[in-house]
Chains A and B, each alone.
Chain A
Amino acid sequence: MQKDMQNDNSQYSPAYEIEDLIRQYGNDVLRIAYMYVKDIHTAEDIFQEVFIKVNNKLSTFGGYSSIKTWIVRITINTCKDYLKSAYKRRVVPMMEYQEDAIISDSDYEQIEKQDTSDLIKKSVLSLPAKYKDVVICIYFQDMSIAEAAKALNIAEGTVKSRLSRARSKLKNMLEGRVSDEF
């Protein structure tokens, strides 16, 4: 099914197929959206917006990448547009303040009390946007370097260098806190 979708989008009849896409990639879209906007209600709004766009643009999908890469790209762009407009309105989600500011000793102490998964999630979400993009594509979505480059509209070399920098930042943040488990 997925293979068919990737290779031939001409068979789509939106009324039925869009539901397949929602069911197949919906969780990925919602979770990626949540990792950007950090609020479940906003993430659900973005989820709807993404699939409305997917439905509208399905006929123009050129097959330059897999349908999944294409949907992930629309999701990331929609999230960034939302954050951009939120910034223009000077509305910053409260969680962003909390999660982007893991810098003081007390913050670290608090984080140490939380379980490893939550700590890693918070660390990934606290990465600067350009590093978070590649981590989400490569690690969370299992994309290849080439697919991530297409999804993020950047060169493969840029993906590699950002990934390397992201790993180094994550190491700095996580080492000594979850070291027992590594």
Chain B
Amino acid sequence: MNFKQNNNNEQKMDEFNIKHHLNTSLDQKGISVSEDLINRTLEAINKQGKTKQEEDHRPLITKIRLLMKVAAAVLVFMVGLSAIHLFNPSGLKQKSVNEEAKSFTLDGKNDIAISDRAGELDNEIATKEAQEIDDQVNDTLGSWDNGTVEEDNKKEPGTNELTSLSNYELSFTDITAIKEEEVKSITVKSHDKDIRVQLKEPVDIEKFYSVMENYRFKYDEADDSTVEYTIKLVGKDNESHIIIGLYTITVDNTHRDVASHSKYSVLDTSMLIDDLKEFLASYDN
């Protein structure tokens, strides 16, 4: 074997003649492109092009239905969250006991001359009443829990309906719920390079959306602690905070007092990360 030098750079010296040997070995194994593979690929490209055209002509009603399903899912989530807050046992018990304690303190002020024994009796009554309140709360929670279980059992087909949402492909506008024309500012931060760019000009916002609209997002439940980019979108009365990790995209939307949290994945996260890198590079002067 001869030493082969690709250029004068010692660093690049291919002393094992790797290229030659790799090609020889791959030739021996018959790893090369056949006419059949080229034709199959061209066929797949044409087929994909036709499918894309059909998708582009998908009636508006389908997209509206999809958005309605997403909105319904968010609403169910919000109602569930509110119900948990409303029936939170510790919160209710604490509030009731505090109110009771307050009234007993007032009673104590009015009956300042009552003996210690009377004070003890007051405590006993307070404890008993608190116990009754606890029981009432538990009964309420018990019946609520049972109802939920029954409802859950009844709603199994509905659950499937929600699961089927993960089959839908959503656009960037769908997942952020902020249209391009409503955006006031966009802040993009690269955690790898520590670059932060804020966009306010419509032309920049349009450019950013044109990058993100190349991707389709699907619901995903995978946990991902990695952070490559963080993006903050500020609209008229809503905000969207997006974390792009190596595997999933986490989106927190707030619209006035209503908040939602969702996770998505894209087909090719690496490409998305690369595209964002190129996008930021164009602003990094």
Contact = CB atoms under 8 A, between A and B. Distances in A.
Interface of A: 14-15, 18-19, 22-23, 26-27, 30-31, 34-35, 40, 43-44, 47-48, 51-53, 55-57, 60, 62, 64, 73-74, 77-78, 80-81, 84, 116-118, 120-121, 124, 135, 138-140, 142, 144-145, 153, 160, 163-164, 167, 170, 174, 178, 181-182
A26 B23 CA distance: 14
Nearest to B36: A44
B26 to A, nearest CB: 5
Interface residues of B, number: 45
A26 B38 contact: yes
Given A14-B45, A18-B45, 11 more contacts: A15-B46, A22-B38, A26-B37, A81-B269, A118-B25, A120-B16, A121-B22, A145-B12, A153-B274, A170-B16, A182-B1
Contacts, number: 127
A78 B32 CA distance: 19
Interface of B: 1, 3, 6-7, 9, 11-12, 14-16, 18-26, 28-29, 31-33, 37-38, 40-42, 44-46, 48-49, 214, 247, 268-271, 274-275, 277-278, 281
Contact of B31 (A22, A34, A78, A145): A34
B206 to A, nearest CB: 14
A120 B18 contact: yes
Nearest to B277: A153
Q: B-side binding surface: helix, strand, loop or mixed?
A: helix
Nearest to B9: A145
A52 B49 CA distance: 9
B16 A62 contact: no
Contacts of A84: 247
A26 B45 CA distance: 15
Nearest to B275: A60
Contacts of B269: 81
3 closest pairs, A vs B, by CB? A181-B1, A121-B25, A120-B21
B225 to A, nearest CB: 15
Question: Which applies to chain A's interface (DSSP): helix, strand, loop or mixed?
Answer: helix
Nearest to B7: A144
A138 B270 contact: no
A15 B128 CA distance: 83
Contact of B44 (A15, A48, A138): A48
Contacts of A53: 268, 271
Given A118-B25, A181-B1, A51 B45 contact: yes
Contacts of A138: 6, 12
B45 A52 contact: yes
B25 A117 contact: yes
A27 B32 contact: yes
